[in-house]
Chains A and B, each alone.
Chain A
Amino acid sequence: MISYMQLSIKATGENAQVVSHLLAKNPNNIYERNQKGHLVRMFYTKFSETEIEATIFVTPNTFEIIKTSSSKNQMTNYINNREFVVSSIFCTLVRPSLGTALNGQPHEDYLCWVNYKFQFEFSFGPVVSDMSEDKILELFEPLAFQTEIMRHETTMFINLKGETTLQIGLRQIFLLIPVLDNYKHYYIDKKEIEKVERYGEGWLDKHPLRDFILQRSLRFKEVFQNLELRSKKERRVSLEDFRHEKIVKLVSCIEPRNSIVDFGSKDGKLSLRLGFVKGIEEILAVDTSQSLTLRAVKRFEKAAQKADFITPTSTWGSLVYFNEKLLNKDVMIINEVINNTEQRSPKVFETIFNKYKPKMLILTTNKINYDWCRDLGVNYGYSNSSDEYEGEMICIFSRNEESV
């Protein structure tokens, strides 16, 4: 059994002992609760009229964590520091034990203390974060916490001092721990995210790092996910789109263009567009990825209902293997496949030029590879032309008539 992290809550001053009622934990007992197989534990280190300190921590069941890890065959999956450091997982496990405090629902005799500001000192760790110390300070200081970061080699403890209510103090911590963590919250479901959102009420909107906090803590909330990804995708897509458009335009004026091979068809976007080009009678979408091919097939099925669409045929293949279905086609497109030729053997182009023998080959690649393929093409009786765009080449090889 290993401990996750710990959170200490210390209150001083008059009436400090009321905090135990707000926490709804008897200071004379030690507390233990089994949460999804892990043990959430709490005990008091100090308890007097004017000073109270409680520590809550998790003794997790390591084996449970291993069982749920998703990817395979990586050492990193069975040793990871998730178990030891402040994390969103910790928050998820501890939250039910601190429910009374977080929701501000103690016994009715103490309801009036919910909004009472105590002199608090929250201390938690170990913390491992990709954020700089300055940034961490920027996170807590606007909340009127006097913030102290104690480093221990690569990890740290964070100490927050300030006057606040227990409810708001805990809510802020529970919302900001995942921000520090920046961990992909695989274990947090939607409901919990909504809870986290609720914790931001009344203070988050005024926080100078509001957007940053939302992005990092709520990256799985669809709105933010989409917001964040869209801008990235747009850039990527535009280049991909540009390339596809260029290829489609090229193919539209090639004669003949009855049969097309889309090598490395991935999820079928290019093949789909080619399906609408007049004069094409057969499109072979070639890839080795099962999941991408599946997506491509779905894409084609959807488009098949539209008029004038030639449904591409998916077939297994890559430049490493031979597939006799690709022989002697009018146009072969190798788009964004050849990026690292040094890994590949020259056999690849021998197979294309000498075996598959397309009438026309369209290749997108970088400049270095282009020089290399150009020479090969000449040897097999192909003449070529090319076009450059943002360091990428679109090259066209056409088979000379006499070598047919």
Chain B
Amino acid sequence: MGKRIKRYFILLSNCLILSLSGNFAYSQSVISGTVKDTLQNPIPYVNVLLKAENQDGIIAFSTTTENGTYKILTDKEGNFELTFSSISFKKNIQSIFLEKDKEYKIDANLKEETFALDEVIVNTDKAITVKKDSIIFKADAFKSGNEETVEDLLKNIPGINVESDGKIKIGGKEVEKVMVEGDDLFAKGYKMLTKNLDASVINKVEVYNRYSNNRLLKGIEESERVALNLTLKNNVKNKIFGVLKPGYGLASENRYDASANIISFREKNKFYGFTNFNNVGIETTAALSEMTDSGSETNFESMESEQGAISFIKLINYKPDVGDERTNFNNAEMASLNNIYSFSPRLKLKTIGFLDWDENKFFRNSLDTYFLPTGTFTTIEDYDLYGRTFSGFANAELTFDISKDQIFEYSGKFNGSSMETNTSLLFNNDFSKEFLEESPFSTNQTFKYTNRLRPNRALSINGYYIHSKNPQKYKSSRFLFVDLFESNGGNNGVHQLSMHKMNVAGVDASLFNKRKNGDLLQAKVGTNFFNNNYTSNFTIEGLDERPAGFQNSSIFNQFNVYFEPSYKLKLGAFAFTGNINFTQNITTLDSKNVILKKSPFFINPKITLDWELNKKNRITSFFKHENKMPSTESVQDGFVLTQYNTFSKGLQQIDPLDNSTFFVNYMLGTILSTFYANTSFIYIKNDEYLGLKSEFTRDYILNELTRLKDKEFANIQTELNIFIKSLASNAKVKIGYNEQRFENIVNGSLRQVDASTLNYGGELRSAFGSPINFHIGTEWFQSNYKTNITEQENLRNRTFLDIVYEPIKNLNLSLNSSRYFFSGLNIDNDAYYFMDFEGSYPLIKNTVSLAVMGKNLLNTRTLRNLMVDDTGVFQSEYRLLPRFFILKAKVRF
């Protein structure tokens, strides 16, 4: 009995185990069968789908083999249907009730049926939409959840690259601007936006390729530019956000670099405010130039260059090439506000306001030795400068979209400064003081009307008015010009009041026509008027009469009417652009003693030719011939003081000057080839030119212009690159030579000057896949000035080593060091070493990050350099910002 129960139990439990385990592991039912057509031939490649009855989802599927057989495994039970479908047969559906662990054999006979889809167009709702010149990304499709700023979102979008400094690149090109809802607040300063705007507010990211700043020139002008536009979600247009970036000196004297910004986007009104305080040598006006830099304008939109009034006196005329920040002892504060207001979808006003205060100090000691036909002498100078600047800038831009094909734009810029500079000067061991007061002001009013006449043709009309003036009041406490003026010796100082005032007005019209074959025909016709008012009054203290020949009061006017057709075509491997400028010019110079008038006619041609011989060889070249009138300052007859010991004047003649330029560039290989070389050659010939006639004395210099003939300049530069695979590095060799031949008159003797510079150097840069990389290089410059009596030579060298180390992700360390060497200096101090360090690490991703910056780690306090020209050797010593460390934080709110 017990045995039987036991056996029964074992059997039962076995059954249980079997059935249970079957449930878990072996409970798959197998459905198999053969599919045949009406003629009983097996059909291959029939899709056999298993679906739950009256439901959509396919649970399992199979395809018939060559023999028409199929097999489906499933662990499901219940009511199902089996669908047999193939492209050339009628769909067959069979019901099936599935139980566990069973085998089903289901055959099917399919009837033929023609399946035809005649040109069905499928529309997909894409995360990415590619249009002809734009790509639209739906932001939500690219959000992974942990992004905070727009920059993070952009990093997720394929094809968009955000570099470590925030620069956005698409296809290797930096974007022109990042707009918000089509409005551009920042121009090149877009990082302010992408690093601060919250990613969650973005609806779409639009990439515009072949972007034109003027939408009507799109497709007509040639453009390689890229721009981004962000569209915002509707519910988030009222937020205010910003960033604080305090930075303060560590273990060094009072150093700071702090900035903050605040941003808001409303549908009608968008604004951006920014402020910076620093005394680490950073020019705060750089932020302004970034925000007003609308990118590289093409020749289609070019206007007369924004020239400003002349500064007669320039107190700092040279800074050594070691980075401006090293010699700029400053204390700067700036604030700016950008605003865009939309009156209607078609009418927009953009304004920029900018205020800047700056205090600057600059120190220089010089020892100048002159080698002149009349003998040799030396001057010494010890110069301390202290300046204060207050400047303001305002810009209003109005854009009115008249219609689909017409735009009217107006821009008004106002720029004014007030500067006061004091210097104390030891010149040839005598002490003096200078004082300069300047208040430059300029305004620039432009309007532009663009009309797209046809899809391939556009008309653009520009008008502009520029007013610029620069009054200068200068005083020097020492009289250095005893030889020049009949003086009683009791003179204490000199004064100069000067002002250049200019008014420029012009209007031009351009027609662009892109032909079907891609050739571009452009014609421009226009007129402009330049009015220059040039006055200077030089007085000597204690002398009632102003010295004759040192005063200016003249009006210099130029009027041009011009026509400029140009044609661009491509013929196989050749690309050719021809451009001719025809100008009728009327120039008058009206000074106290003379009135001059000329009305020349100019024909200025320019031809560009690019030739791509084959994949490895490419030549680009141009030739141009240019006639133009001399500039305002070069036609003035009276001397003006330009430095405490220097007078300059022009030549009172208004005959045009001409020059010819030839340029050719040859590229062997490409930047991708193992060997890559680029060589360029330029030659400039001036048949007639304004040369210098100078008189040097130990106390003063007199410069005037004189007309001379035949000046030549030639320059050849070549750069060879070879990629060394075994070192994963590129080696570069640079060699160049330029030579200039001209004449000048020095202390009464006319002479030929031969000036040449030979430069040569090499670099090695690594591209290791490791966290550490380096870049090392050196370059020598050998200058030579030769006249019939003298020869001055000079050799200088710059060597650098940059190392980057990223030991862990996001911790970025970089060390930049360089050495400057000047021959001819005292052997003990002819080399100068610099080292800068920077390290940064994000503490809380996208919210708080810390950086340490060390400048001038070797604490080099002075830099001496040496330069030569045909008149002498000039040695200068500059004082440098001492070593400092700054701890910087960045907090987003």
A and B are partners in one complex rather than unrelated chains? no
